[in-house]
Structure 1
Amino acid sequence: MKLNYYNLRPLFLLLIILLAACKEKNKKQVEEVVSLDNFAQADSIIASISLPTFPDKTFDITEFGAVNDGATNSSDAFKKAIEACNQAGGGKVFVPSGKFLTGPIHLLDNVNLHLAEGAEVLFSTDKSLYLPVVHTSYEGVELMNYSPLVYAYKKKNIAVTGKGKFNGQANEKNWWPWCGAERYGYKKGEPQQRDDHNLPRLRKMNEEAVPYQERIFGEGHQLRPAFFQPFGCENVLVEGVTFTNAPFWVMHPIKSTNVTVDGVTVRSHGPNNDGCDPEYSKNIHIKNCVFDTGDDCIAIKSGRNDEGRRVNIPSENIVVEDCIMKDGHGGVVMGSEISAGVSNVFVRNCRMDSPELERAIRIKTNTLRGGFVENVYVKNIQVGQVKEAVLKINTYYGIYDKQEGEHIPSIKNIYLEDVEVENGGEYGILIQGREENPVKNVSLKNVHIKGAKTPMLVENSEPIQFKNVTINGEQINAQ
């Protein structure tokens, strides 16, 4: 039998129909797999994070001379207990119930600083105890400055655990006035961080690439220390404790890998009191925490301006889940010190709600900071109330301080899914990109926002993808 095109035409048509059907089915399967794989990647990141482990040895600080009266300086007792624990191969440095006054605490390898229920560590208001200066960072720029209150430098296998409290004793008379704001106790004419010998000098050193060892501040300067700072550390656990009355940023893992923050409470409403700021860090797991802060609840960072570009270590592989965000400038934030970039951020199963919470998800940068933000996945978020916006992407951050340069930010692949908002504030969605490089690939699925005064303000962004999205009861269609 001789075959020709006309004989086979019905078979070709049937084959085309079957291929089209298979393609559509595969497309749907791919979409489902992509959605699943995003958070499968989060689970993979969590599984890869090594938790510290410790020998079953206990070193009670009272056996090293610590006094439970809230007044006697027990700095030496903390130091001796930590050294003994380290020299014995590791274990638990135990702080029993009661009030213990100390200067800065420096952790060593294989040490778990454990606060019993009812224990309160009070950090001295005597600033001379936070000297000599150590290698630290201030707003994304490295320097030699006052020691953080709890500090670990290039250590491995460390932890801060328990049900006790760290009280930084910062207030309108101690540390906070240095920010230069009257509501935090600053009085006109007193020295503050914006004076020429402080931040302006540090900013200039950044621009001129002065080695950090020569950026000496500390005594005679007004740059506040971080509360808990693991610097260049591996396998870090912060679990169960409460931080309050912080001088500056509360938890600041910088250049660190494998960091777990679990069940921690931050209640601190001072200036720049961010809850947790991973910077130049990767493989970070923040879970079961409560953030009630004077600044961003969680702010993911990667260096400021020229320094961030020189260091060039993006913050990546960060999972935030099962947390409660109360007061703060933002729930989960990327920026503003973001010059080395941020990627692979996963946020799920969180509750954000306060009349003093300004945004739920926020990305902030400018053309001095530059940097990139990519692959941000947000799922199953309950928002009670925010002031300004549910999602805010701002590439003009700080322009009133003349923070404009030549480094155009790149922001892409931002996904929100299963988000319920009772009171959306001023804007449901607020995006301000750059004409030179618009925001790309923003996708919202199953997002329902009520009570937004302005549903959306979007500038310099590729079309947002909407699927089952309502704002103020109105269905939002694809742009």
Structure 2
Amino acid sequence: MNKNFISAFTYLLLFLSLQFKSFGQNEAFDLQNGWKQLKTVEKEIIYPQFQNKDYSILDFGAQAIENYNNSEAFRKTIETCSKNGGGRVIVPKGKFLTGPIHLENNVNLHLEEGSEILFSTNPDDYYPLVHTSFEGLELMNYSPLIYAFNKKNIAVTGKGVLNGQADKNNWWPWKGSNSENIDFGYKVGGPSQQDESNLPQLMLMAENNTPVDERVFGKNHYLRPNFIEPFECENILIQGIKIINAPFWIIHPVKSKNITIDGVHIESHGPNNDGCDPEYSKNVLIKNCIFNTGDDCIAIKAGRDSEGRRIAIKSENIIVRDCKMIDGHGGVVIGSEMSAGVSNVFVVNCIMDSPNLDRAIRIKTNTKRGGTVDGLYVRNLKVGKVKESVLRINMNYSVYGNQTGNFIPEVKNIYLQNITVEDGGKYAIYADGLEKSKIKNVVLNNVKIKKVKEPFSITHIENLKITNSKINNQKIEHY
């Protein structure tokens, strides 16, 4: 064995012993008990129920003709279906252009195989403005492409395609910047969400607790609409469909509960194209999905800064199971908008693999966000390749300038079991805690990382336990 490697490994063990406070007898810390909640959580999730009645959009005037706007046909079909007690609104084979679609109680928007809904790229079609959310801040803005407000028993199902038609000519340039690898179409001096009267103005309004109905944006403010947004809804199913070319966040349940996302395939590499962002939401099951995105595959949210603290609704009881994550900033992420707190997140039997996937598991917050993350349970995870790290915890996350404040976040009770990694990138664990608030209680059990440049880059972590684990073919244990 290379002497330099022996020296480095010895130093690593010494580093671990000096950096991490050991578990004592009075520090009972059995995160395995957290798994007992998994079955209970899943049993609590209520699926929507629908009448066995079908309503075809063709019967209400829809036409699969290029440039023919079917907004009124969708509205009439959905309204009739709901008034008659509910059922399925059928989108048959063909391409149907429309503006935003608003779901009503007891309606299942069902896309038959070979169907495609093309959403208008004209911002004027997304009026009237609705009560929605942008990056954890509520406002009156363009309608999401598919929207429901205070509804029960709603669904989007089938084998068809939802096409947001966003690209470097539509929606994406409003980000106000391009990435290192992707041209989003932004030109210096062009419309940008970063202009003072746009996102910065919304942030200021939220800090000042301006009533939501006075936070009026829309035209000339360049804040892109979410794709699918159930807002204050219950009993939601999104199943089987493929979603492409999103303007912004893709599946975004807000203040909602009993949400099942099953077998959805997302392909969208635009800016802020998170695959799924449950926010202030409870009892969420995400299973059998494929995420190939321009941002986080799944990002669990709970409001930004003072807004999140005022609303004070945790995101909790969230299960991610049997999913595949390809490109993205992170596979399963918590934050950064998580000021109201996140608890009881379970990630089971997932595959993550791409040279363009930055991290497998990620938590991000800062002293402006605050909030508490308590209980992240990950097991049976197969990672092919990630670019930066297997586990990334950042309590000094920085975006949009100065992100420091007096709201000290907490991150605790993180459990990873039965993890195999072919190429972990730069670090197995990359953790940046705070001196005032150390990352607490992190357990790795049966974690095998074949290749990584450095095992750890860690500051301010307390109670790290590593058992039955190998990094770069070297056994590492710490109690």
TM range (shorter): over 0.9
1:250 maps to: 250
Q: How big is the shift at 1:463?
A: 3.4
**Residue 292 of structure 2 contacts residue 328 of structure 2 at CA under 8 Å; is this kept in 1?**
yes
Q: The residue matched to 1:109 in structure 2 has which SS?
A: coil
Letter in 2 for 1:112: N
Which has the higher Rg, Structure 1 or Structure 2? Answer: 1
Q: Deviations 1:126-147 (Å, cap 9, x if unpaired)? A: 1111011100000000000000
Letter in 2 for 1:153: F
Letter in 1 for 2:97: L
Q: How big is the shift at 1:69?
A: 2.1
1:293 maps to: 293
Letter in 1 for 2:172: W
- Runs of 4+ in structure 1 over 2 Å off: 37-40
1:136 maps to: 132
Aligned partners of 1:133, 1:152: CA distance in 2, in Å? 13
Aligned partners of 1:410, 1:63: CA distance in 2, in Å? 55
Structure 2 residue ranges without an equivalent (≥5): 1-24
2:421 maps to: 421
**Residue 29 of structure 2 contacts residue 441 of structure 2 at CA under 8 Å; is this kept in 1?**
no
Q: The residue matched to 2:461 in structure 1 has which SS?
A: coil
Q: Deviations 1:108-132 (Å, cap 9, x if unpaired)? A: 0000000000000000111111011
Q: Deviations 1:30-63 (Å, cap 9, x if unpaired)? A: 999x63x433311111111110010011000011
Aligned partners of 1:272, 1:432: CA distance in 2, in Å? 24
For 1:138-177, list aligned pairs within 5 A: 138-177=134-173
Letter in 2 for 1:175: W
Percent identity over the alignment is: 57
For 1:368-379, list aligned pairs within 5 A: 368-379=368-379
TM-score (norm 2): 0.92
Letter in 1 for 2:160: G
For 1:341-356, list aligned pairs within 5 A: 341-356=341-356
**Aligned CA-pair RMSD:** 1.3
For 1:8-407, list aligned pairs within 5 A: 35=32, 37-182=33-178, 183-398=183-398, 401-407=401-407
**Residue 34 of structure 2 contacts residue 375 of structure 2 at CA under 8 Å; is this kept in 1?**
no
1:438 maps to: 438
TM-score (norm 1): 0.92
Between 1:96-105 and 1:468-477, the stretch displaced more is 468-477
Q: The residue matched to 1:467 in structure 2 has which SS?
A: strand
Aligned partners of 2:452, 2:401: CA distance in 1, in Å? 29
Q: How big is the shift at 1:400?
A: 7.7
**Residue 292 of structure 1 contacts residue 325 of structure 1 at CA under 8 Å; is this kept in 2?**
yes
Q: How big is the shift at 1:399?
A: 6.3
**Residue 133 of structure 1 contacts residue 144 of structure 1 at CA under 8 Å; is this kept in 2?**
yes
Aligned partners of 1:443, 1:357: CA distance in 2, in Å? 23
Q: How big is the shift at 1:300?
A: 0.2
Kindly tell me the number of residue pairs found equivalent between the two proteins: 449
Letter in 2 for 1:449: I
1:24 maps to: none
Aligned partners of 2:456, 2:160: CA distance in 1, in Å? 44
Aligned partners of 2:400, 2:53: CA distance in 1, in Å? 55
Aligned partners of 1:42, 1:70: CA distance in 2, in Å? 47
Letter in 1 for 2:454: T
Q: 1:399 to 1:147 in 2, by over 3 A?
A: closer
Q: The residue matched to 2:374 in structure 1 has which SS?
A: strand
Aligned partners of 1:397, 1:249: CA distance in 2, in Å? 20
Aligned partners of 1:31, 1:388: CA distance in 2, in Å? 29
Q: How big is the shift at 1:70?
A: 3.5
Aligned partners of 1:279, 1:270: CA distance in 2, in Å? 21
Letter in 1 for 2:330: G
Q: Deviations 1:88-126 (Å, cap 9, x if unpaired)? A: 000000000100000000000000000000000000111
**Residue 149 of structure 1 contacts residue 226 of structure 1 at CA under 8 Å; is this kept in 2?**
yes
Q: How big is the shift at 1:476?
A: 1.3
